[in-house]
Amino acid sequence: MPQVRALFCPNCGGTIQLRGYAQTVNAVCEHCLSVLDTKAESLRVIQQIQERTRIEPAIPLGSRGTFEGTRYEAIGFQQRSIDVDDETYSWREYLLFNPYKGYRYLTEYDGHWNYVRTLPALPVRSKYLTRPALVYEGRRFVHFQHAAARTTYVLGEFPWQVRTGETVGTDDFISPPYLLSAESTEHEVVYSLGTYTEPAAVWQAFGLQGAPPWRRGVFANQPSPYSRPASMWRRFASLTALLLVVLISVAIITPHERVLEQVYRYASHTPAAAPFVTPTFELRGRPSSVVVRVDTDIDNDAASFALALINDETGQVWDFGADLGYWHGRDEDGNWSEGRRNAAATVPDVPAGRYYLRVEPSIDEAAPISGVASDPNRERGFKYTLSVTRGWFGWWPFLVAFPLLLIPPIAATARYYSFEGKRWSESDYSTYLSS
């Protein structure tokens, strides 16, 4: 038996339509915005002061939408505001009604929406670091903000007493995508749980036309689009460990053996400048690289080496070269030096066998001799050590890979904390607020 009541506003005579049946305690006349007491048979005006500017609810009162499989009708709308440092921040609340299931709420601030219901059980008081927290169903909600919420506009009907200008204390605790709110008066504390809801989902539920307004900023319980960086760091740690294991394994299985080490002298005016060959040496194992290295004591000079690795049995030749030069001196800025005294060349995939090197060192005649008086007849020479190492092993892949591996977790951490910084900048714990 529905209780349809045809009612008229005692203030302006306009018709009042009650959608919330007899649960409704107060209704606002949509014509003159008077707040009416609907409990008595005849309506009574209980408040006439209202903002002169009308606010049009984004969800028209009387429209129905489905949430969690239940249809609800939007029957009430209120705007509430808080004042922070002479700035007024306002959000809007929609009261949804189903005559069997009761009431739900939708809240909207800067284009961010929450679907809200009251809690059947009490949250347990807790702490997170130094901040108050609440635990509800195993989830810890961290205190975000305390506010004195003032009702600044009402429309539609409510199962409780509404007045514009009325203020209640609210405390918001967050655990994205959830927001736990405590509203307290002297005689009552009501806990409610909001779930961050995509604006498009609200539009779809109510079949609203057009696109929802853009969201501005990051809302308290807006879920971060970025995952916690801890997982990225764990991945980084395991990849680094894997890389180390691979490198160490390669180092263990790769033969690494010095097969030749000879000391020579080079002088530009002696026959020693002519090409020569080294003693033979044995290369063993699977085909792998050979590193030929020249270390000199060259001083303010440059040299180049024409080198060939020759297989004594098959005559196969690998030609390659090494250039080096080293200069130093003193000028008005003090001591300086440049270049280097050694050079190395790597010959890859050399099969096992007997080998020798053909070596042809030469002084670079055109080499600039900075800071030293050039003398074409000067005897130029140096001592050098020629070494051949079978197998190649270096740490440089690790040194290259390590910073590359660092990039994703560092980027993820920066993104994550940038988002969290925006979230908390609106809270009582903002690091950007001096107060």
Partner 1 sequence: MPDRTANCPNCGAPLRFRWSGAVQTTCEYCHSILVRHDLDFRKVGVVAELPLEGSPLQLGSEGVFDNKPFIAVGRIIYEYDQGVWNEWHLLFSDGTSGWLADAQLEYAVSFLTQRSHPLPAPQHLHRGQQFQWDGAVYEVTTITEANYRGVEGELPFEYWDKQRVRFADLRTADARFATLDYSEDPPLLFMGRVVEFDGLRLNNLRHFEGWD
Q: Which of 81, 118, 167, 342 binds partner 1 (CB under 8 A)?
A: 118
3-class secondary structure, 120: coil
State the nearest-atom distance from the C-beta of 159 to partner 1, in Å: 5
β-bridge mates for residue 257, sequence order = 390
State the nearest-atom distance from the C-beta of 248 to partner 1, in Å: 53
**CA distances to 262, 267, 299, 346, 397 from 383, in Å:** 11, 9, 10, 22, 32
The answer to whether 134 and 173 have CB atoms below 8 angstroms apart is yes
Q: Which of 189, 230, 253, 411 binds partner 1 (CB under 8 A)?
A: 189
39 binding partner 1? (CB under 8 A): yes
Q: Which of 7, 9, 16, 20 binds partner 1 (CB under 8 A)?
A: 20
Residues 55-94 that bind partner 1 (CB under 8 A): 71
3-class secondary structure, 51: coil
State the nearest-atom distance from the C-beta of 196 to partner 1, in Å: 22
The answer to whether 118 and 190 have CB atoms below 8 angstroms apart is yes
Count the residues in the chain: 435
Q: Which residue has the tokens 């995939």?
A: 349
β-bridge mates for residue 27, sequence order = 36, 157
Q: Which residue has the tokens 């894997």?
A: 242
CA proximity to 64, closest of 79, 48, 75: 75
Question: Considering only 22-30, 323-331, 355-363, 401-409, which stretch makes contact with partner 1 by CB under 8 A?
Answer: 22-30
**Cβ neighbour number for residue 249 with a 10 Å cutoff:** 10
Question: Considering only 119-127, 149-157, 166-174, 325-333, which stretch makes contact with partner 1 by CB under 8 A?
Answer: 119-127
Per-residue x/- track, 147-186, partner 1 (CB under 8 A):
------------xxx------------------------x
Q: Which of 12, 22, 148, 237 binds partner 1 (CB under 8 A)?
A: 22
Q: Which of 122, 242, 253, 407 binds partner 1 (CB under 8 A)?
A: 122
Q: Which spans of this chain sit near partner 1 (rule: CB under 8 A)?
A: 1-5, 20-25, 39, 71, 98-103, 118, 120-124, 136, 159-161, 186-190
